Structure 1
Amino acid sequence: MVAAAGLLALGLPVTAAPASALGQCADPTGTYTGAVPWGQRLVDPQRLWPLSRGEGQVVAVIGTGVDGQNAQFAPGQVLGGPGTAPSDCDGRGTIAAGIVGAQPADATTFTGVAPAAKILPLRYTESNGSSAEGGGDPGALAGAIDTALNRGAGVLLIAVPAGSDSPGLDTAVERARAAGAVVVSPAAATQQGAHSYPTTSSGVLAVGSTNQAGQPVQTETGDYLGVAAPGANLVSTSAGGGGSVAHRWPVTDPGLAAAYVAGVAALVRAAHPNLTGDQVVTRLTLTASRPPSGAHDPRRGWGVLDAYAAVSSTLPADVPGPGAPVRPVSLPAVVPAPAPTRPDTDLAAGLIALGGVVAAAVAGLVVAAVRRGKRRAWRPSRFGS
């Protein structure tokens, strides 16, 4: 930990290697009692809980399994039954699951995004999902997606994507989309020019990752990126805690950004139960905090996840989906929520709050802007390569 602290002081990334790659199973750093982690402050789940806690939602965490014995999961929250993997030697599935749904606990300042959501733990690999590093078989991932659908999951978090594609994986993703599920997958490839799968697939919400300064931290780029979320210097639940409230930190892993997005997707589904999966993806994309230009960034998509706007916004009924030839043009109106407004704790949080005020001010222009764009058949603009 001394070495890790030194790297952080220098502004360098600290990455927790998969424990299985080291020939041992994951174990905790300890019980986290520091300041509220920056990613959690950015999403600010406590502000959202009066509107939604993820009630009635099942989030499949597809990767390396989940250690359901960690005491920050509620009894029965991590589901068992056919196809599940309630253990996690590798550790990354448990980290992702904690970001999605860990319960508030007196012993720690860390909490998950959607604590009322159920976690469906599915294992299809023990490795880090890169074909170059020996893991992430797309056929096995396709089978895990089918299991998630059979078990009723409405949000599918690909915690560990595959390093290659296959017709079977493409078909499984199409089935998930047809069933109304939200598939969230990170841009987690570690080699320049490589891609993660099914991150690139149509209908999948592809997630980039940022650090606290808003800078992208992943190598993978592409015009398929939808939104970005925290992926560096994170805190979450750890496997191997033996039934205690146990955590792992600091963790830098671009794949974990997708866990924040999946947690917010569960909040959106609970707050807006009539939305289709595609409409949930549209909402998350339209409400992201974009730069003034509104241009697409190949590493951050349409901007950084804005959880409050995603849950509480009012959108036109005919707002175009992510596959339509119309790009998002403006933040929608944000409906004031009954949750208390917290004081600004950092620049990123302050900008999000300001964005909510601006969005409310332009509420009357949104419907006209979107419909006018549809009539003109806009095409997305992108930053130059």
Structure 2
Amino acid sequence: MRRAGLVAAASTLAVVASVLLPAATATPAVASCAATSGSPVIETASWGQQRMGAERAWPRTTGDVVVAVVDSGVSAASASLQGSVLPGTDLAGGTGDVDCYGRGTFVASLIAGRQVDGTEFAGVAPGATILPVRVTSDPDSLYLSNDLPGLLAQGITAAVQGGARVIAMPLTSAASSAELEQAVQAAVAADVLVVAAANAPTTDALAFPASIDGVLSVAPLDEEGGADPSQLGAVPDLAAPSGGLVGAVPDGAGHVTGDEADLAVAYAAGAAALVRAEQPSLTAAEVAERLMATADAPTAPLAEGMTSDPSIGHGVVDPVAAVSRLDPESVVVASGETPVLDMPAEPDERPSDLALLIGIGLLAVAAAVLGPVVGIVSVRRKSQ
């Protein structure tokens, strides 16, 4: 992988694994063309996976939508991605489900990696289906190429035509083109969310397609925090882990580590898949707004006139909050007025009291009138 030396490191691990850890790898489904084949299994989850905590969202959704990865292809032979990779397409011809470089598979595994015995590793949306779109087998050769904007445009178009609901784009170009902007606009019109890396491909360069309206721009994050804004080529909407990550290799059950700014798109795209599956009525724009509204917001005060942090945008993507937090419109907000309790009126006991008094009075009158009569009758009886 670019700048991180992922392929070189993985090759060394492969040699060690073949000697010391033969039982830690699975037999590839097809012959491998990637240098990472045979890498050992990494048992523990990376800090980035732990930070996302996506497993808490899985009782609600695992992200059962199609997510395209526009990069170096995605291997269908990776143990973590068994049964979840479509044939896809290669812009040079053929399918995109073989990955000789390794990064496309790495990104796809962060998005949709299934749980495998012997490791804690898993992607954010393990129910997602990956649509691989290979634009190149060697991303390093394309970063400053004049052909890159056109290839990215073709990749977006292929992803939309392939039925993707989310498109993850690790590759960044220093220049845009009319074709690329039209492809993004077509994706927006088709209600497809494009998620692109915000890091600059070279010093003082812009980042495309992240700088194009309608694209969700994602900045890198490591354990120390966000990137220096000078390293970004687009204003970030969100940030996501990108350094010190664990991801799957193209063949077998092994893993390698990655430390590229481009990898941030994976966790954001995975979170978008969770939201799209949980709330299918939301448009792509509404999904992006929800991801930003539920992000783990920056704690530092923003500069005057700023609405987001120049390093991490609206905050670090939070898959669980994005899926489970109530919609703002459905939350009842207190008005600040003192509530008045409407109590029933007390019964008027005066009529019954008056009746009692009248009754007593009548008895008294009766006693006064009848008393002498009773006495006379009694006397007469005695005198007879």
Q: Please give the TM-score of this superposition, normalised by the length of structure 2.
A: 0.72
Q: State the partner residue of 2:253.
A: 245
Distance in 2 between residues matched to 1:136 and 1:232, nearest whole Å: 28
Correspondence list, 1:293-308, <5 A: 293=301, 295-308=307-320
Q: How does 1:37-76 map to 2 (within 5 A)?
A: 37-55=46-64, 57-75=65-83
1:364 counterpart = 2:373: no
Alignment equivalent of 1:212, drawn from 199, 209, 223: 223
Q: How many residue pairs get matched? A: 302
SS in 1 for 2:237: strand
What is the one-letter code of the residue matched to 2:67?
Answer: V
Q: State the distance in 2 between where 1:209 and 1:198 align.
A: 16
Work out the CA distance in 1 between the residues paired with 2:6 and 2:228.
16
Aligned: 1:228 with 2:236: no
Q: Distance in 1 between matches of 2:3 and 2:154?
A: 32
Q: CA deviation at 1:29?
A: 7.2
Alpha-carbon distance change, 309 to 130 in structure 1, aligned in 2, over 3 angstroms? farther
Is the radius of gyration larger for structure 1 or structure 2? 2
Which residue of 285, 290, 298 corresponds with 1:283?
290
Aligned to 2:185: 174
Please say if residues 34 and 101 of structure 2, whose CA atoms lie closer than 8 Å, have aligned partners that are also in contact: yes
Matches within 5 A, 1:1-385: 15-17=4-6, 25-28=34-37, 30-55=39-64, 57-75=65-83, 77-80=84-87, 83=90, 84-128=95-139, 133-134=144-145, 137-216=148-227, 220-221=231-232, 224-239=235-250, 241=251, 244-249=252-257, 251-292=258-299, 293=301, 295-316=307-328, 364=333
User: Residues 151, 224 of structure 1: CA spacing in aligned structure 2 closer, same or farther, 3 A cutoff?
Assistant: same
**Secondary structure of the residue that 1:147 maps to in structure 2?**
helix
Aligned residue for 1:314, secondary structure, equals coil
**Distance in 2, Cα, partners of 1:82 & 1:28:** 22
What amino acid maps onto 2:5 in structure 1?
Answer: A
- More helix, by proportion: 2
- Is 1:66–1:97's contact at 8 Å kept on the other side of the alignment? yes
1:356 aligns with none
Q: CA deviation at 1:139?
A: 0.8
In structure 2, do the counterparts of structure 1 residues 136 and 72 end up closer, same or farther at CA, with 3 Å as the change threshold?
A: farther
CA distance in 1, matches of 2:143, 2:262: 17
* Cα deviation code 1:81-105 (max 9, x no counterpart): 5554111111110100000001001
Q: Structure 2: any 5+ residue segments left out of the alignment?
A: 12-32, 336-384
Distance 1:238 1:230 in 2: 19
Aligned equivalents of 2:228 and 2:118: distance in 1? 30
Contact 1:136/1:160, CA 8 A, preserved across alignment: no
Deviates further, 26-35 or 224-233: 26-35
State the TM-score, normalized to the length of structure 1: 0.72
Q: Which residue of 2 is the match for residue 323 of structure 1?
A: none
Cα distance in 2 for partners of 1:183, 1:215 equals 22
The amino acid across from 1:16 in the alignment is G
Q: Distance in 1 between matches of 2:236 and 2:285?
A: 15
Rounded to whole Å, the distance in 2 between the matches of 1:63 and 1:316 is 36
The one-character-per-residue Cα deviations of 1:174-201 (angstroms, maximum 9, x if unpaired) are: 0001111110001232422112210100
Question: CA deviation digits over 1:125-166, x for unaligned, max 9?
Answer: 233368665486111111111111111100011122333211
Amino acid at match of 1:35: T
Change in 2 beyond 3 A, CA 1:110/1:256? same
SS at match of 2:81: coil
Identity %: 35
